[in-house]
Structures are given as structure tokens and as C-alpha cells.
Structure 1
């Protein structure tokens, strides 16, 4: 239980990063494309390159994306480990919720 409590700031950062519609769109775009430059991500997004950069920095800080420099471009991709960690947390929460619902069902029906 202590290990879970120690990870709360990391999990909170991941959930907060995904809670913003623009950042969630960036994650979805990277999931579809595999990787993309800031220019590609800002094209047609209705936000500036600077805004996209700031959103990517938040996602990077949460461990959900990673950037690399290729020539003159900064190319971004999803961080598989960070996404797996977030997915595992959702699965843990889902299992706990199902257990609570099962206990409630037994209480109500029993």
C-alpha cells in the first residue's frame, strides 16, 4: 500500500495531463501517427506551435511522451512505459470499483 501512496504524485500528473482536451488530442494524434514534429502537430490544430510545445512538455513531464531532436526538428512520440503505467493504474482502479460493486450487490440482494 505504501508503494501506491508514493506513486500518487506521478499518477496525479498523468491524469491531469490527460484531463486537458488539447493534450488528449495530441496523445491521440501521436497514437495514430506513431511520431510527429511540432510543426505537424500544430498544423490544423487551431493552436500555436508554442502552445503545442507547452502541452507536449506537460505530457513529457507526466511520462506520457518523449521528444527527440532529428536535424532541426523536435519529433515527439508516445512513451510506451508511461502509457503502460497509466493503463495499469486504470486497470487497478477498475478492479477495485468492480469489487466494491460486487460487495454492494451482495449486500443489497443478500
Structure 2
């Protein structure tokens, strides 16, 4: 497996978990957010949130900034680039499918 394939696999594994995806989405919506803020109202323990953050950090999806007793997390949008690049290879496939759907809809409702 080459390094690009490995990175895509790491990203997909990191985002496959629905709780981890929710944590990432909350981070992406905030400029910066602490573990305590992520834990509050999530129904997930602080330890579990920390484990999800570790996986997201290893995947290159979040960065951290320590300040005093707090660590602030922020999304790293560039971390999604390998996945976006991989998906772009299938653009022609989807474009053809969308054109087929468009044609079908025109036949159904001219």
C-alpha cells in the first residue's frame, strides 16, 4: 500500500465511527473548542471524547493548541484533501449517473 492509500484508509476509518464524525463536525463548526465543551451535552464521556480526538488528530483532521490547563482543538480542513482527491477520480462516474437521472426525469415529466 502506498502512502496516499494508507492516508485515505486512516481518514475513512477515522470518519467511519458516527460518534467520531459528530465530534469532528462540532469541532469544524467552532473556531476552537475544548474537550470539556465537546463532552458537555454529547452523552459521551470525557475519556471517550479524548480517544476520538486522538484518532482525529492522527488522521490529520484536527490540531490542538494547549493553553494553561486547557487544550483547544480546531479542524484542519486540509486533512480531508486526500479523501477529496480520491473521490475526484469518480467524478466522471457520478456526472454520467446524474445526466441519466436528469434524462429520466424529463421523460417522466416532460
Q: Give the TM-score, by structure 2 length.
A: 0.77
Match of residue 5, structure 2, among 5, 8, 11: 8
- How far apart in 2 are the matches of 1:27 and 1:97? 28
Give the 5 Å matches for 1:68-107. 68-92=65-89, 94-95=90-91, 97-98=93-94
CA shift digits 1:81-110 (9 cap, x unpaired): 212333233233x325337x57xx8xxxxx
The change in CA–CA distance for 1:35 and 1:90 in structure 2 (over 3 A counts) is farther
Q: CA RMSD in A?
A: 2.2
Give the 5 Å matches for 1:40-51. 40-51=37-48
Name the larger-Rg structure. 2
Q: How many residue pairs get matched? A: 98
- How far apart in 1 are the matches of 2:24 and 2:63? 11
**Where does the alignment leave 5 or more consecutive residues of structure 1 unmatched?**
106-110
**Where does the alignment leave 5 or more consecutive residues of structure 2 unmatched?**
101-110
